[in-house]
Structure 1
Amino acid sequence: MINISEEQVNNALDFSTLVPALKQAFTTDICVPSRLHYDMENPKASRETTLLMMPAWQAGDVAGVKLVTVAPDNGLKNLPSIQGTYLLFDINNGSIKAMMDAPALTAKRTAAASALASQFLSREDSKSLLIVGTGTLAPQLIAAHTNVRPINQVYVWGRTLAKAQAVCEQVSELNIECIPVDDIQSYAKQVDIISCATLSTTPLIFGHWLQPGQHVDMVGAYRPDMREMDDACLVGNKIFVDNFDGALRETGDIAIPLKTGIISKKDIKADLFSLCKGEYQVNRKASDITIFKSVGHALEDLIAAKLVANNTLK
């Protein structure tokens, strides 16, 4: 069995390859059972540590399972909030092909899914991007969004300017201007795309900030009690998700407004499966505000892991 490191995962995946691979995969019949989600009590932290188990397989080809923990307080310990591993199996003989770093894989595939959604939902001339959050996902989201849209101006907001500056330094090789900012509201009002990836339990983006023509990419809030956007972001705007099953149950950004009647299921226009299969056609008006909520899907992990193995085990 080959153990593939974080560095190898990052080197093996580029968005110009991963985004179209995901687009094609969302049209196939990859088997994806519901993921298992366990909240484990942790008296030493402010909240539970979450264990996620996400399996998927392609008949006659490969199978994979991701095992990750999410510990929201890890930022205070200078540790990543997401840790874990991904196991890739050969279905033909049942052997383990590879074990690889799950956080790196997750960051790449999550950012690629956001970029894929942006191809369908954002304005083609989008040139500016606000990143909310300074975790592992932030530089990957910048690279992914700039891969599919002509973005040349990026603003990064975090809890500290130093962390925002560190994100900008990580994307210095990109042909963009990256600026750390401390005023989330003013920049949210002026950019073409907002991408938010945090562990916040209270909204960071508010509907009355949003401007006609914007695309909002919501990546965090992986639990039913977490929120990154308020109700007003959803009312009257076009809502899309990566997958219906997970989004309706697992994220407070969608589950809470559904429960309180702010929105209904029919207000969610389509998921990535419908978009990629052409079952839903996006007719974007210049004034439309589009909202994409991502909760993650094991299909994305499997396709990314397969690419990593193919590019690493040559």
Structure 2
Amino acid sequence: MKLLSEAELRRVLSPALAVASSERAFIALSRGEIAVPVRSEILRPDGEGVVFAMPGYLPGRVFGVKVIATRGAASAAMVLLFDAESLAPLGLLSADFLTDWRTAGGIAAATRLLARPEARLHVVFGAGRLAGPCARLVATVRPIARTLIVGRDPTRARALAAALRAGGLDAEAAADPGVVAEADIVTTVTSATTPVFPGAALRPGAHVNLGGAFRPDTRESDDELARRGLFWCDSRAACLARAGDLVMPLASGVLDPARILGEIGAALAGDLRGRADAAEITVFKSLGNAAQDICLAEDALALPGLAAPEFDPRGEAG
């Protein structure tokens, strides 16, 4: 069994692999080729965080589970992966960076399918750990000329913009959520519980990624986006049960169920349409799915040149 540290994953995971792995996971999920039970959740008694257990089974290949715990802005995560046939443990992977990149990879995969090819202005809401990876990976699938970071903490937003500039992106902080009026792509990865931008301000043809709120009583988008947008989900069942961006406007009658077109995996596979018109406002709702964790962990373990120690759980470390 290989042991992959955070540092090793940062060294070997590439943007291309993160995007391709999420595409593979989404397609497998939509085609029923991977079994992903509803994740278990344990809320901290102090209300400051949650513990998730997220299993997945890819028949004939691998099965495993990711455990992730959050407390405020802090988190810790691990993925344990097994061979589906021999039951041999394959790897134990630190999963903080892996989680960030599988989430950003999924958002980039959806963006590559749904955003207009000429999209150049990307507005990112949030300045936390997911905002940077999303900005970087989206810029690998569209010709992004400018990235704007909108965050509750201006200091953090400016620091993230500076880090993105150091990595080669033209990025700056913005204070006004109304900048979405000029955006080609909008990505939200916040901890907000209420809408963070005005849906009425979006111009025709914009693409929106909703990647933050993950409970039925929290949302990052408003009723106007629900009226105007066409929605694709990472998992339709999970989103209809837990994504407040869909649950709340459906309950109020603002969102027509017919505007939820289906799963992004079906669209990536060609079994469901993607963008059909340059003026459509397309929306991808990402809750995050264990299928992405399982596929990216499997792909990471198969990479050549890993500097990963071996461990035999029935014996001693190698």
Asked if Structure 1 and Structure 2 have the same fold, meaning a TM-score greater than 0.5 normalized by the shorter chain, the answer is yes
Distance 1:90 1:199, change over 3 A: same
- Matched with 2:300 is 308
Distance 1:304 1:247, change over 3 A: same
How many Å apart are 1:173 and its aligned residue? 4.7
Higher relative contact order (CA 8 A, sep 6+): 2
Q: Please give the per-residue CA displacement for 1:42-66, whole angstroms capped at 9, x wherever unaligned.
A: 23xxx35222111112222211211
8 Å CA contact 1:127–1:151 kept in 2: the answer is yes
Q: Does 1:208 align with 2:211?
A: no
- Matched with 1:224 is 216
Q: Please give the per-residue CA displacement for 1:73-116, whole angstroms capped at 9, x wherever unaligned.
A: x23xxxx2x32211111223222222112221111011111111
- Matched with 2:35 is 32
Determine the C-alpha separation between the residues in 2 that align with 1:245 and 1:313.
39
Q: Please give the per-residue CA displacement for 1:153-173, whole angstroms capped at 9, x wherever unaligned.
A: 001111222211222233335
Determine the C-alpha separation between the residues in 1 that align with 2:219 and 2:27.
30
Which of residues 229, 233, 251 is equivalent to 1:237? 229
How many Å apart are 1:142 and its aligned residue? 0.8
8 Å CA contact 1:30–1:56 kept in 2: the answer is no
- Matched with 1:110 is 103
- Matched with 2:316 is none
- Matched with 1:258 is 250
Structure-to-structure mapping, 1:94-133, within 5 angstroms? 94-133=87-126
How many Å apart are 1:132 and its aligned residue? 0.6
| SS of 1:189 mapped into structure 2 | helix
8 Å CA contact 2:78–2:94 kept in 1: the answer is yes
Letter in 2 for 1:118: T
| SS of 2:147 mapped into structure 1 | strand
Letter in 2 for 1:40: L
TM-score (norm 2): 0.89
Q: Please give the per-residue CA displacement for 1:210-235, whole angstroms capped at 9, x wherever unaligned.
A: 11111111100011121101111110
Determine the C-alpha separation between the residues in 1 that align with 2:115 and 2:36.
30
- Matched with 2:45 is 42
Q: Does 1:176 align with 2:172?
A: no
- Matched with 1:6 is 6
8 Å CA contact 1:83–1:102 kept in 2: the answer is yes
- Matched with 2:20 is 20
Unaligned runs of 5+ in 2: 309-318
- Matched with 2:149 is 156
Determine the C-alpha separation between the residues in 2 that align with 1:281 and 1:252.
24
- Matched with 1:55 is 55
Q: Please give the per-residue CA displacement for 1:193-245, whole angstroms capped at 9, x wherever unaligned.
A: 11000111111122112111111111000111211011111103211111101
Letter in 2 for 1:93: S
8 Å CA contact 1:12–1:307 kept in 2: the answer is no
Determine the C-alpha separation between the residues in 2 that align with 1:25 and 1:42.
33
Distance 1:62 1:9, change over 3 A: same
| SS of 2:191 mapped into structure 1 | coil
Structure-to-structure mapping, 1:136-147, within 5 angstroms? 136-147=129-140
| SS of 1:30 mapped into structure 2 | coil
CA RMSD of aligned residues (A): 1.9
Q: Compare 298-307 and 31-40 and name the one that shifted more.
A: 31-40
How many Å apart are 1:41 and its aligned residue? 4.1
Determine the C-alpha separation between the residues in 2 that align with 1:2 and 1:169.
36
Q: Compare 12-21 and 234-243 and name the one that shifted more.
A: 12-21
Distance 1:266 1:48, change over 3 A: farther
Distance 1:169 1:236, change over 3 A: closer
Q: Please give the per-residue CA displacement for 1:6-58, whole angstroms capped at 9, x wherever unaligned.
A: 22222222122232233234333532232323242423xxx352221111122
8 Å CA contact 2:98–2:293 kept in 1: the answer is yes
Number of paired residues? 303
Q: Percent identity?
A: 27
How many Å apart are 1:258 and its aligned residue? 1.5
Which of residues 238, 260, 267 is equivalent to 1:246? 238
8 Å CA contact 1:129–1:155 kept in 2: the answer is yes
Unaligned runs of 5+ in 1: none
8 Å CA contact 2:36–2:291 kept in 1: the answer is no
